[in-house]
Structure 1
Amino acid sequence: MPPRWPRKPDRNDPEFRKLDDRMNFAIHVAIFAASNSILWFFRNLTVANWPWTIWVTGGWVSLLLIHGVYIFVLADYVAISKDSISDN
């Protein structure tokens, strides 16, 4: 059974934003895992000499690490008041 959100989803709600960002990160990790495993599977299957696969994997892992550090360490999930949005 999928989890249920107890109130109306709103990006201004810090708890919802935190959950949404973490689910987004999980989707990015899943896409990386699937794509990267397919890439390396075909590299090994065809015994190909593809030096770019190392660079693709390394670059993608680096982006995932940066994304993860932002989500889990740097992101500040403070309530955004509607008054501060309308002042701009």
Structure 2
Amino acid sequence: MPLSLSKPPDPRDPEYQSLERRVNFALHVGIFAATVSGMWFVRSVLYADWDWTIQVTGVWALLLLGHAIWVFTKK
């Protein structure tokens, strides 16, 4: 079911702010998935020994988890 507003958009409306946070989180998840999967794909194709990919993925995943907690616990 797509996210939608029940009334005209108003940036001060809590329902609008909640929808905006969820859309921003979805965008963050999409950018994370595309970047990390591309990074790991290039790493595997080049047989590269990039230790930093593990750290980048882990740190970004923790930031994404923090973003998720903030989005879904804020009313």
TM-score, normalisation: structure 2: 0.89
Instruction: Give the match for residue 16 of structure 1.
Output: 16
Deviation at 1:12, TM superposition (A): 1.1
Q: Does structure 1 residue 51 correspond to structure 2 residue 55?
A: no
Give unpaired runs (5+ residues) of structure 1.
78-88
Instruction: Give the match for residue 64 of structure 1.
Output: 64
Partners of 2:32 and 2:60 within 8 A in 1: yes
Q: CA RMSD in A?
A: 1.5
Matched, 1:37 2:34: no
The TM-score with structure 1 as length reference comes to 0.76
Structure 2 segments unaligned to the other structure (5+ residues): none
- Greater length-normalized contact order (CA 8 Å, ≥ 6 residues apart): 1
Identical aligned residues as a percent: 47
